[in-house]
A and B are shown apart, each in its own frame.
Chain A
């Protein structure tokens, strides 16, 4: 245990201002690394978004106007890889880096140097992956799922893609180890696991998912690599291999992966809704257990991505039932958020708006997910725009909206200034209107028979595609507003300095430190009252 004297000495050692290079490239401070993660993910969000703009521009009307089909396929593939591995996952790791130590009263992450390494792998991984677009034969064009045999038709640039994904996996695993070590070892004295705020809880569970499945992905793509370059036949039927086995292995990673992207979002929203309802989180323990159940179930539902590959009846039934079961803990969460708001004292600042938008639109994505679980109906939905609509509702209006909510919620804590509330609200309303214009008509397109991953379509699909594209351009432009709001907030343009407890109803240790949070916090473990914790639940 650090004594007061030791802490003072320690602080003194860091009083000098490190040079720019030392601080941002070699630094191990959790807040700086959190900032790096968040800025990196914002950059990737814009790059992946630009790819989406190309996709929506080509789909604006029937006929091929802008790009050829080969490039279109590279765009859909890269858009997904960049958004999943470059935008959403690192953004949540960024929030974890910034907020976990503050929320559990720790001075830093448990493994600060590993933290630096796990971030700095990422820019290089993405540099390598994106550079394949400029190589002979182009980048990956077989979809982000990289199904063989199609993915093996890519040129030699495939080796770069696989290497890059390996690096991203390494980064994720190291980040996850760090989070588990931090949460399990560095909580302030008196903070039992079941008193811990909900965001660290969701991240703790997510970190176990990451460690469980990233090595599986690594195995799958390594087998692709040897099939392509070393003449093995893991997935080559002509050599005695099995292309469907790849799908099983991939989705054993891929399904928990989608929960990796949504569980921390649940955590963020579960912090925000109680704050702006001025009421404790309803059913805190149920929330924790529901998160754990979802995480467990995520390991036994993978083949619902594969209902049309020709599985035996028993397999289809099992995966249908298991998938439907997920609706139960997910429903518990939604009901609990609504109950938290019930009889609260609600205000609607930008974080709350994004959180409410999250609950409504994530639930819509959950409904279409339930529909997709019904095997006979999935025979129609599978691989159509209905699926595209479904996963964008859970990923964009789900994960991304939660990230936006979290960014607005904690921006004042990070910068010491209030963001521009008017522009924040504009950002919310423009995003919400356009994102629904973008994705809701895609349900209709899928039900009417439009397959996904096609660059051109019949006239029958033209009207809703045009509406969807207009929504896409609007949503894309609205995000530039977010970039401006973040920039102006960081520069203190609003001129409104904020205190420790930025929001009236905010609870939790992160609101007991000054704003902006000083470089070093909780160098001595904080003493706290249980009622200060975010969920405000002291009944156990």
Chain B
């Protein structure tokens, strides 16, 4: 654990020098970002490894093909050879790919085993997908609220609204369809476990900066975890088709330092307990909760 922590801290130093924006989608962005967790960085490394392997194989195969296309033209007087076999060649290009695949599967397996392990988390968030919003519950507290797309995006996305998507801004950044009323607030440098489910149809919880998505399935509880090192705002979207407003249920994570988070959670907890005292109300009572929670989280 310790060496990884040290690495993570180093990574954090590097990452913090880059604008916090870089975790969110940019215009003309060509590649996945390394994200803001050790998890997402490992995923990114695997992605780059397999990408480069493909590029190298591609250069060899397409190079050979291009050579054949230019060299063995009938118009240049090429005469066809008669051979149609080469056992050596065939064995070679069966065995070498197998070796390459083993070389790729090895780190992928190591990473997968590591990221599968959600134990030793310090807190748990329950995420529930609904058509078309998210509910976040801070397990062990009374804090429990819903999070839906911001009003400005919602007005702008109406059919032929005549409004300009580019005008939906927050802090100078375009947040069209990627902003919410109540973000999920998380502490940094804390292993947070998510338990993820849904109440109606299947949704999928995805924040690219964290490096994973996990389906939210009615009747199932899925598990995932994260440990964010860089404070910031990280945006994502539902990734499983869930009906007409599938495109309009964004996810926003506000990662703040632990001390700040503790203060926030305590305040929310007090508000929630004082206001209603019925944090165990059935989840289906969304409408009733909505009004309360809108007030409770206004203070953010």
A residues engaging B (CB < 8 A)? 62-65, 67-70, 73, 141-143, 147, 149-150, 153, 237-238, 241-244, 277-284, 286, 308-310, 313, 316-317, 320-321, 324-325, 327-328, 331-332, 334-335, 338-347, 356, 359-360, 363-364, 367-368, 370-371, 374-377, 379-380, 382-384, 444, 447-464, 505, 535-537, 539
Contact = CB atoms under 8 A, between A and B. Distances in A.
B173 to A, nearest CB: 10
A344 B68 contact: yes
B223 A69 contact: no
Contacts of A153: 201, 243
B271 interface: no
Contacts of A380: 32, 43, 47, 208, 211-213
19 contacts: A63-B156, A64-B159, A64-B160, A277-B72, A279-B82, A308-B213, A313-B113, A320-B108, A343-B68, A343-B81, A345-B74, A345-B78, A360-B62, A363-B61, A374-B104, A444-B31, A447-B30, A448-B29, A458-B25
B93 A150 contact: no
Contact of B27 (A238, A383, A459): A459
A456 B201 contact: no
Interface in B111-143: 111-113, 115-116
B244 A327 contact: no
Contact of B78 (A65, A331, A346, A460): A346
A447 B240 CA distance: 16
Contact of B111 (A376, A384, A447): A376
A279 B215 CA distance: 51
A350 to B, nearest CB: 15
A340 B215 CA distance: 45
B85 A367 contact: no
Contacts of A464: 28
Contact of A237 (B81, B212, B218): B218
B166 interface: yes
Contacts of A447: 29-32
Given A320-B108, A377-B47, 18 more contacts: A62-B165, A69-B247, A278-B80, A308-B213, A313-B112, A343-B78, A344-B72, A371-B50, A374-B50, A376-B108, A383-B239, A444-B29, A454-B246, A454-B247, A455-B247, A456-B247, A459-B165, A460-B24
B90 interface: yes
Contact of B217 (A310, A342, A347): A310
Contact of B65 (A308, A359, A379, A460): A359
A364 B240 CA distance: 25
B51 interface: yes
Contacts of A62: 165-166, 176
B115 A376 contact: yes
Interface residues of B, number: 98
Contacts of A279: 80-82, 84
B46 interface: yes
Contacts of B294: none
Contacts of A241: 219
Interface stretch (B10-18, B94-102, B184-192, B260-268): B94-102
A539 B65 contact: no
A331 B218 contact: no
Which 6 residue pairs are nearest across A and B when measured between Cβ atoms?
A237-B219, A454-B247, A460-B25, A310-B222, A367-B54, A448-B29
A107 B243 CA distance: 51
A368 to B, nearest CB: 8
Interface string B149-179: 0000000111111011110000000111110
Given A277-B80, A377-B47, A459-B176, A242 B219 contact: yes
* Interface core residue of A278, A340, A376, A384 (most chain B CB under 10 Å): A376
A221 B139 CA distance: 38
A413 to B, nearest CB: 22
Contacts of B84: 279-284, 340, 535-537, 539
B73 A64 contact: no
Nearest to A276: B74
**Which of A359, A444, A450, A456 has the most C-beta atoms of chain B within 10 angstroms of its own C-beta?**
A456
B138 to A, nearest CB: 22
B64 interface: yes
Given A327-B97, A334-B61, A451 B219 contact: no
Contacts of B57: 367
B242 interface: yes
B175 to A, nearest CB: 8
A61 to B, nearest CB: 8
B79 interface: yes
A79 B163 CA distance: 29
B65 A341 contact: yes
Contacts of A363: 58, 61-62
B253 interface: no
B37 interface: no
A456 B177 contact: yes
B245 interface: yes
A337 to B, nearest CB: 8
A8 B211 CA distance: 72
A234 to B, nearest CB: 12
A317 B109 contact: yes
Which of B94, B97, B116, B211 is the most central at the interface, judged by chain A CB atoms within 10 Å of its CB? B97
Contacts of A452: 241
B93 A331 contact: yes
B144 interface: no
Contact of B43 (A277, A342, A379): A379
B60 to A, nearest CB: 10
B233 interface: no
Contacts of A280: 82, 84
Interface string B213-253: 11101111011000000000000111111111111100000
Nearest to A377: B47
B213 to A, nearest CB: 5
A217 B29 CA distance: 39
B174 to A, nearest CB: 4
Given A63-B165, A342-B64, A383-B239, A150 B218 contact: no
Given A244-B220, A331-B97, A460 B29 contact: yes
Nearest to A280: B84
Nearest to B81: A343
A457 B80 contact: no
B20 to A, nearest CB: 15
B291 interface: no
Nearest to A539: B85
Contacts of B74: 278, 345-347
Contacts of B113: 313
